[in-house]
Structure formats: C-alpha cells, structure tokens
A and B are shown apart, each in its own frame.
Chain A
Amino acid sequence: MLDIVLIGINHKSAPVEIRECLAFDEDDTLKALSFFKNSRVIKESILFSTCNRVEMLMTTPLVNEAIQDAKQYLSDYKQMVLKRFEGSLYIYQDIDAVRHIFRVASSLDSLVVGEPQILGQIKEAYRKALAQKTAGVILNRLLHKSFFVAKRVRHETGIGDHAVSISYAAIELAKKIFGSIENKKVLLIGAGEMAELAVEHLIRNRTGEILVANRTFDRAVKLARNFNGKAIRFEEIYSTLEFADIIISSTGAPGFVVFQEQVKKLLRKRKNKPLFFIDIAVPRDIDPEINRLNNAYVYDIDDLKGVIEENIEDRKREALKAERIIEEAVIGFKHWHKNLDVVPTIVGMRKKMENIVQKEIKKTSKSLQHLSEDDYQAIYRMTDAIINKILHDPTLFLKQNGYHGPSSAPIDFTRKLFRLDEE
C-alpha cells in the first residue's frame, strides 16, 4: 500500500530568504517532476511553488527513503546545504498530509486566510503533474477532493467574503456607494505605492477615465501614461472634482488639499451625485468634515484599516466552520485510502457476492419448500465454491500486481468495477 507524504515549507515555517532559494519556476517544476518519475521509491508526485510556499506531495511504499530522496533532491538541485533549510521543512504523512493539502487548497493555510488565488495555483500544479504523468490514482483522487473541499468551503462559509486589503476594502466600499463602479471617473492626487495599487484595482474593475494630478506635472504625465489616463495640473483639481466620482489622494502635503467648503459647493453643481474620497496620505489630504456632507464619503487610511480588521475577525470565525468541513472530507478520504489495498478489495468483492447469493437463495427458497436443511447446506457449499472459483483469478491478478511493485490503478479499477466504494 502506498503512503501519502508531503514535504514543504511555507511562510510560517521559513523566512523569505529560504523560501526564495527553494522556489520552483515552471521549468524547475517540470524537471523535478520528471526526476521523481524516474525515482525508485516515489510513485506519484505533485509539486507546487508559490511566493508563500513550496510543497511536494508524493506517494511511496517506503516513506523514510522517499523523504530522504526528496530532501536530497532539493539540496542538490537548489545547491543549498541540507542543514540550512532542513529545520524549516515540515513533513506530513497520511491523513495529516491529506488534511494539510485540503487546508492549503481551501486557503486556510494562506498568509491572508481566504485569499482565492491558491486554488488556481494548485490546479495549475496538478495540470503539470498530469502532463508529466506523475499523478496516479491516489493523487488524482486527493487533488480532486481538495478542489471539491475548497469549493465547498468557499460556498458554505464566508471565508472569502469581504476585503482584507486596503485596496479591496476601498473597492468594496465604492461598490456599496455606487452600485457598479464601471465607468466611474477616478482622480488620483499625488502618488505612492498604495495609491497606485488602488488605482490598478479600480481599473481592473473597469472604472472609467483615470485622471492624475501631481505637484510636478511631469510626474503626473508619467503616471497617467501608466494608467492610460490623463494628466491634469495640480491647480485644476478643484474644477476636476466636479466630474470625478472616486478620488484617491496620497500627497505629501502638510495640510488638507481638499476642503469642506469646496466640496459643499461642488456637490450642488454635481446635482448631488455621490463623491467618494479615499485618503491614503499621512498627514491627511482630505478634510474629514467632508464626510458630514450628504452624498460625500471620506475614508482615510485608519478607517480602511478598521474595516479590514473587522473583516479579518470575521474570516477567522468562518475558518472554524471550514475546519469542520475539511475534517469531514479527511475522514472520507482516509476510508477510501485504507481500502485501496489488495486484501480489503478482495474481502469487499467476496462480501458483495455473498450478499447477492444470500438474497437470491432467500428469494428462491420460497418456492422450494420441500428442500431440507441438508439440501440447503449443500447449496451453500456449492455457492461458496462458485464464489471461490470466480474470485480466484482476480485475486491472483491483484496480488501479483502488488508484487511487481505496488500499483494502485488495478485495485482502484476493481473497486470501481464492483462499486465497492459507496459514495
């Protein structure tokens, strides 16, 4: 019987200096998979590498040797002394490995719990393993179950709900104000990493025109080019506000850049179309009093952080529900895996046939009242012999196959053929 083993490092177990040394890009991954494919002890393998984790999932008949091989491969291929990273590795076996992969796929193990990218990354890794033919019966089922569990977790818990990053929180708010933010005009005042990131997020949500204002016009022109937008002069901000809907401000100005009185007049001109100010600057650019005006909304950096903290708390609560769903799936998988062996399969087939025989004899005996107890004994002896004869060759086949090196495929096929795993 093949054991499931998982070796990996992630953001919790290792600092980035080690993670980046062990990261696998696409080429590396394919090379590693083909190396494992030729390995004597590793039967199936999948490797996935993201910026927060590197994980190798394998099945093997010889656990310790497989772990040793995998470690050695990492050390050789990445040219790093084993000692340097061995302490950061975690190793899971059997149901612990199953649970881990379910948790990773459901984004419970992520740096930002509930972030949705990880599932796609695992799917991609699985696709590569399929292409290299390194995923067999067990990993196929394990991965499919992980996708299923991840979907269930996403669907049945609120783990992925509600933004946990500043720019997502800003977009979520914008959507609650404007409904759709498609074609809403965005004005970026100033520059800065976070502000630009927010603008990029907005663009991805198909907002309308992007206007960029900066103290130095050249910088505005440059930024505007990045966003495919239009540069305006700093003095034009006020007149532009009449047409913009979402304003992201991030200047280094010591005082406010936009004042309440201005916006009050402006709102009249805009016929009270809502205005949403996102103030990322410290010290603040947008007069917080503006938030008191009808149809104008101001969120500064602390407000956004407050929103995120609340959402993170929510996600943690939802994660508890997710763990329950995962535990259920782990138990199901364990049951399947335990039975994926020669003996349980043969026992399963025999039981199935005995059940059929029992039922049929019971049915027929109603019309055979004249038979004595001895006659029945004879009939049972006969049916036992039939079952033995029928099962003889399949048993031999499954067992021999096992001696040639454990292969789960015929066992899995047999179990499917006789429908031994009720789902």
Chain B
Amino acid sequence: MNLINLFTIFFYLMSTAAYLFFLFVQKQKFEKAGLYLLTAGFVIHTSTLVFGFISSGHMPVENLPETLSVAGWAVVCVFLLLHYKFNLKILGIYAAPLATLIMIVSYPLPKVALQNPEILKSLWLSFHIVFIFLGEAFFALACGIGILYLLQERAIKRKRPGFFFRRLPSLNLLDSIGYVCILGGFTLMTVGLITGFVYAKNVWGSFWSADPKEIWSIITWLLYAALIHGRLISGWRGRRSAVMAIIGFGVILFTFLGVNFLFEGHHEVFTRWRDS
C-alpha cells in the first residue's frame, strides 16, 4: 500500500511542477500536463482508497495517515470537479501543491491500528466521512480562491498590474466561484454533521456529547453560516468574503488537527499517530 502511495505522491508532485511552469511560462501545454498528471494521480489514489475499503470492510480512516490521505483525495476530487465546471485553470497552482503536501506529510506517519475497528463498520460513518471531507475540501479551495482574490485585488488597487494581474482571472469570477465553493462546502458539511450525529447516537448512545471536535465543528459551521448570511443580506462580497474564507479554513485546520492534539475526545481515535 505504501508503495502505491508513493506513485500517487509522484504524480501529484509532477503535477505541481507542471502547474508551477504554467504559472511562470503561461503555456497552455503545461496546464494540460498538470491537469492530466493530477488526474492520473487521482485515479491511483482512488483505487488505493477503494482497495483499503474492500480489504478492511470500512472506510480507511483508522489513523492519522489514512485520514490525511482521504483529505488529500477530497481536495483533488473537488478541484477536478471545479475545473470541469468553471475551467478555473490557475487554481491548480493551489490545489496540486496542497494535495501533494498532505500526501507527503501523511506518508512517514506510523499507521497505528485501531483497538476496536468494529465501530468503523457503519454506513452512517461512511457518509459522515465522505461528506465532511468533501465539504472541507470545498472550503480548502474556497480559501485558495480567496488568496488568489486578495492577490488580484492588491494588484488592481496598487495600480501596478504585474505578475499576478496578468495570470489571474477577474475579481468577479474569483468571487463567484469562491462563493460557490462556500455554498457547496456548507451544504456537504451540514449533511456530514447530521450523519455524524446519527452515527454518534448509534455508537455512543447520544447525538451530542460535547466532544471538543463536535464543539469546534459547530463553531466552523456557524462561521460559514454567518458568511453566507452576510453575503445574502448585506452583500459581503469581494475582500471580506475572501478573508472570511481564509479564516474559515484556518478554523477547519484547527478543528481537524489542533483539536486532536490539544484535547481528548472520541474523534481522537481516528487520527492517532502514536501509541498512547
């Protein structure tokens, strides 16, 4: 399994390099190469996950490296989706390195076996994981688009259109796609949370156990809800929306990783990276 992961990393790395070339040289062939390499990596990655699912009978989220791998997969999946739908080529310069980074970080982490893998064998949990991770991938890309927005806005406001001005699309396009990502992420996250609660009820007997991860997830959810509300009611668009998308993803990162390391709770078992 580890060997195949290396292949995935290899393709993602090559794709990152191609997108870097595309950023600097601006030749379409590099963008195409980046996309194809990423797609190839994605196919391998998907088959790894499917194989993991079949061989263990549950979602491959027993420990931190496996969970990270699913997160990386989700990022690529959502990027390819967005690319197909909106043709936002330049986003590859964010998505490909992000996926590569996640995979490289996860690679050397020890795979700690779960003491009680039986709790993973639940349809609700599978839904919970898929929805949450895809949702978070949407938020990750919204963050990337937010960064691109800020770069482009800075170029225009400073009146020195240079490197980024030429390479990035219009503010309006970035803003709209960013919003689509937020909406998509929010919807998936909502479904993911609900399925999570149902799963919690089944496994631990109650919908809500004030687990730190649950609390932080709700905080994240509220944050994005506020962002969407602000946009609909008072037109929070542009810079403010971009900054919120970046902050939101920061909170997600904290919920995903920070909470596991700082607090105890029942999510901790899925992201173990050392025997305790």
Q: Which of B165, B169, B172 contacts A274 (CB 8 A)?
A: B172
Q: What are the residues of chain B within 8 A of A177 when measuring CB–CB?
A: 156, 170-172
User: How far apart are the CA atoms of A173 and B155 in the complex, in Å?
Assistant: 10
Most chain A C-beta atoms within 10 Å of own C-beta, residue among B159, B162, B239: B159
Q: What are the residues of chain A within 8 A of B238 when measuring CB–CB?
A: 272, 274, 294-295
Within 8 A of A (CB), among B226-273: 234-240
B117 CB within 8 Å of chain A: no
Q: What are the residues of chain A within 8 A of B170 when measuring CB–CB?
A: 175-179
Select the stretch in A104-112, A303-311, A321-329 that faces chain B. Answer: A303-311
B85 CB within 8 Å of chain A: no
Q: Nearest CB to that of A307 among chain B residues?
A: B161
Within 8 A of B (CB), among A271-309: 271-274, 291, 294-295, 297, 299, 303, 306-307
A-side interface residues, number (CB < 8 Å): 23
B152 touches A272 (CB 8 A): no
A297 touches B160 (CB 8 A): no
Q: What are the residues of chain B within 8 A of A274 when measuring CB–CB?
A: 171-172, 238
Q: Which of A173, A176, A295 contacts B239 (CB 8 A)?
A: A295
Query: Could you tell me the distance in whole angstroms from the C-beta of A334 to the nearest C-beta in chain B?
Result: 30
Query: Could you tell me the distance in whole angstroms from the C-beta of B85 to the nearest C-beta in chain A?
Result: 16
User: How far apart are the CA atoms of A283 and B116 in the complex, in Å?
Assistant: 76
Within 8 A of A (CB), among B139-186: 152, 156-157, 159-162, 165-166, 169-173
A399 CB within 8 Å of chain B: no
User: How far apart are the CA atoms of A173 and B172 in the complex, in Å?
Assistant: 12
Query: Could you tell me the distance in whole angstroms from the C-beta of A172 to the nearest C-beta in chain B?
Result: 8
Q: Nearest CB to that of B239 among chain A residues?
A: A294
User: How far apart are the CA atoms of A175 and B152 in the complex, in Å?
Assistant: 12
* A310-B162 contact in complex given A173-B156, A176-B152, C-beta closer than 8 Å: yes
A37 CB within 8 Å of chain B: no
Q: Which of B156, B166, B235 contacts A162 (CB 8 A)?
A: B166
User: How far apart are the CA atoms of A283 and B38 in the complex, in Å?
Assistant: 53
A362 CB within 8 Å of chain B: no
User: How far apart are the CA atoms of A307 and B156 in the complex, in Å?
Assistant: 10
Q: Which of B159, B173, B236, B240 contacts A303 (CB 8 A)?
A: B159
Q: What are the residues of chain B within 8 A of A173 when measuring CB–CB?
A: 156, 161
User: How far apart are the CA atoms of A176 and B101 in the complex, in Å?
Assistant: 31
Within 8 A of B (CB), among A219-270: 268, 270
Query: Could you tell me the distance in whole angstroms from the C-beta of A163 to the nearest C-beta in chain B?
Result: 10
Q: Nearest CB to that of B165 among chain A residues?
A: A176
User: How far apart are the CA atoms of A274 and B171 in the complex, in Å?
Assistant: 9
Q: What are the residues of chain A within 8 A of B169 when measuring CB–CB?
A: 179
* A176-B156 contact in complex given A271-B234, A274-B238, A294-B240, C-beta closer than 8 Å: yes
Q: What are the residues of chain B within 8 A of A294 when measuring CB–CB?
A: 238-240
B159 touches A299 (CB 8 A): yes
Q: Nearest CB to that of A291 among chain B residues?
A: B157
User: How far apart are the CA atoms of A273 and B159 in the complex, in Å?
Assistant: 20
Most chain B C-beta atoms within 10 Å of own C-beta, residue among A176, A179, A295: A176
* A176-B235 contact in complex given A303-B159, A306-B160, C-beta closer than 8 Å: no
Query: Could you tell me the distance in whole angstroms from the C-beta of B106 to the nearest C-beta in chain A?
Result: 37
Q: Nearest CB to that of B176 among chain A residues?
A: A179
User: How far apart are the CA atoms of A295 and B240 in the complex, in Å?
Assistant: 10
B172 touches A271 (CB 8 A): no
Q: Nearest CB to that of A303 among chain B residues?
A: B159
User: How far apart are the CA atoms of A334 and B51 in the complex, in Å?
Assistant: 64
Query: Could you tell me the distance in whole angstroms from the C-beta of B180 to the nearest C-beta in chain A?
Result: 14
User: How far apart are the CA atoms of A273 and B238 in the complex, in Å?
Assistant: 9
Q: What are the residues of chain B within 8 A of A161 when measuring CB–CB?
A: 166
Query: Could you tell me the distance in whole angstroms from the C-beta of B139 to the nearest C-beta in chain A?
Result: 22
User: How far apart are the CA atoms of A161 and B172 in the complex, in Å?
Assistant: 21
Q: Which of A162, A272, A291, A297 contacts B236 (CB 8 A)?
A: A272
User: How far apart are the CA atoms of A235 and B169 in the complex, in Å?
Assistant: 36
B239 touches A273 (CB 8 A): no
Query: Could you tell me the distance in whole angstroms from the C-beta of B259 to the nearest C-beta in chain A?
Result: 33
Q: What are the residues of chain A within 8 A of B235 when measuring CB–CB?
A: 268, 270-273
Binding site for B on A (CB under 8 A): 161-162, 173, 175-179, 268, 270-274, 291, 294-295, 297, 299, 303, 306-307, 310
Task: Contacts A271-B237, A273-B235 known; list 20 others, CB within 8 Å.
Answer: A173-B156, A176-B156, A176-B170, A177-B170, A178-B172, A179-B171, A179-B173, A268-B235, A271-B235, A272-B236, A272-B237, A274-B171, A274-B172, A274-B238, A291-B157, A294-B239, A297-B156, A306-B160, A307-B159, A307-B161
Binding site for A on B (CB under 8 A): 152, 156-157, 159-162, 165-166, 169-173, 234-240
A-B complex: 10 closest residue pairs judged by Cβ atoms: A271-B235, A179-B170, A179-B172, A272-B235, A303-B159, A295-B238, A294-B239, A179-B173, A272-B237, A176-B170
Q: List 21 A-B contacts (CB under 8 A).
A: A162-B166, A173-B156, A173-B161, A176-B152, A176-B171, A177-B170, A178-B171, A178-B172, A179-B169, A179-B172, A271-B234, A271-B237, A272-B237, A273-B237, A274-B172, A294-B239, A295-B237, A295-B238, A295-B239, A299-B159, A310-B161
